[in-house]
Amino acid sequence: MLGVIQALNDAKVETRGTITFVADTGEEGLGDLRGTKNLFQDSLKGQIDAFISIDGWGLGITNIGVGSYRYRATFKGPGGHSFGAFGMANPIHAMGRAIAKISEFEVTADPKTTFNAGRVGGGTSVNAIPFDAWMEVDMRSSDKASLEALDKKYQAAVQGAVDEENRRWKKTGQVTVANEIVGLRPAGSTPLDSLIVKTAVEASVIFGYQGKPGEGSTDSSVPMNPGIPAVTIGGGGRGSGSHALDEAFDWTDSYLGTQRALVLAVAMVQQAYRSRPKISATSLRIVVSGFVGAKSSSCGVVLSRRTLRAPSMVNFLS
């Protein structure tokens, strides 16, 4: 994104309408897309005509936003000595039962629907029955009905696990569970025949792109949900092992990602202006976004804004 800004400034490129570049936070993990949510619900509410997010590697295009529910389930009990209080319901055992149930869920491959127990914790000592335990669970689908059905399965599995643990042990002291939503990502999509998707594909073909737009969980899910035109594009280069210990990135040809982002941003503001000839250039705004971290506290930071009036340098769609 910074490369696109520098190229526009160095070449003194002028566009119709505004291209606003933002660096947002909270895209990953428990950040819950809070940067982009702030952008659309507060910072630039009602002012964005189209949104381009730069995320990941390669030259892929995302036009379907995957939704997700993320929970932190906390299991609690009185706790006690592992020998002296043996026979008491155990929060970690209850959590283990819940995870075992979750692992047996049957989900659809199309639309792709997924689940994952990603983090667990609890207990104080190997020789103590814990008084609490917790797990964080992620469930995803681009289809709202599939996601809602999976959520109901999850709720039933967690409560069923607690009930089983309490029935197993008759001693005083019951296990309870509290589910806290720690992430709620909206699902949505931008149609293949929309201006922004067609422009993204045409711009990408110039740089060798031969694929088809797909689905993913990115910042674009936020504008896609209410129907604001949005796509996510890769930043170039090659990668592998996303979120694994052997995750790697190869810079080879990564410049193509920057060039593609530049062409798309300028082409999009030009094409949007042409498709709405009665609109004032000063009221048209295209946002290009890149995220800067998962846990930072700020969001929606405007790095550069150019409201210019001369014709675009990009005319390949004219």
Overall pTM > 0.75: yes
Q: Is the pLDDT of residue 281 over 50?
A: no
Q: Is the pLDDT of residue 223 over 90?
A: yes
Q: Per-residue confidence at 69, pLDDT binned at 50, 70, 90?
A: very high
Q: Does one domain contain both 72 and 149? A: yes
Any residues with CB less than 8 A from the CB of 286 and at least 6 apart, and which? 17, 18, 19, 20, 48, 49, 50, 51, 52, 265, 268, 269, 272
Q: Does one domain contain both 59 and 207? A: yes
More confident: 306 or 244: 244
Q: Does one domain contain both 46 and 193? A: yes
Rounded mean pLDDT of the chain?
A: 85
Number of domains in the chain: 2
Question: Torsions phi, psi of 251, nearest 5?
Answer: -75, -5
Q: Token match 């428990």: residue?
A: 30
Q: Is the pLDDT of residue 310 over 60?
A: no
9-13: long-range contacts at Cβ-Cβ below 8 A with a sequence spacing of 24 or more?
9/304, 11/313, 13/266, 13/308, 13/312, 13/313
In the chain the first and final C-alpha atoms are separated, in Å, by 25
Reported as a single tens digit per residue, the pLDDT across 169-210 is 977 789 999 999 999 999 999 999 999 999 999 999 999 888
What per-residue confidence (pLDDT) applies to 25? Answer: 85
What per-residue confidence (pLDDT) applies to 61? Answer: 95
Reported as a single tens digit per residue, the pLDDT across 258-277 is 999 999 999 888 876 666 65
Torsion-angle region of 159 (φ positive above 0: left; ψ -120 to 50: alpha; else: beta): alpha
Contact 286, 269 (CB under 8 A): yes
Q: Does one domain contain both 177 and 222? A: no
- Domain boundary residue among 160, 185, 210? 185
Q: Token match 């995302």: residue?
A: 62
Beta bridge partners of 291: 24
Contact 224, 208 (CB under 8 A): no
The amino acid at residue 258 is T
What per-residue confidence (pLDDT) applies to 276? Answer: 60
Domain that holds residue 17: 2-66+187-308
280 by DSSP, 3-state: which? coil
Q: Does one domain contain both 194 and 61? A: yes
CATH number at residue 15: 3.40.630.10
228 by DSSP, 3-state: which? coil
CB atoms within 10 A of CB 20: 21
What per-residue confidence (pLDDT) applies to 316? Answer: 34
CATH number at residue 155: 3.30.70.360
In percent, the amount of the chain with pLDDT more than 70 equals 87
- Rounded to an integer, the average pLDDT of 19-37 is 87
Give the start-end residues of each E strand in the chain: 17-24, 50-54, 61-65, 67-76, 80-81, 113-122, 128-129, 132-141, 176-185, 188-189, 214-216, 230-233, 238-240, 248-250, 285-291, 301-308
Q: Is the pLDDT of residue 303 over 80?
A: no
Q: Token match 């709620």: residue?
A: 184
What per-residue confidence (pLDDT) applies to 102? Answer: 98
- Domain boundary residue among 121, 156, 185? 185
Q: Does one domain contain both 56 and 73? A: no
Checking DSSP bridges between strand 17-24 and strand 50-54, what pairing results, if any?
unpaired
What per-residue confidence (pLDDT) applies to 273? Answer: 60
- Domain boundary residue among 152, 185, 218? 185
Within a domain: residue 313?
A: no
- Rounded to an integer, the average pLDDT of 90-117 is 97
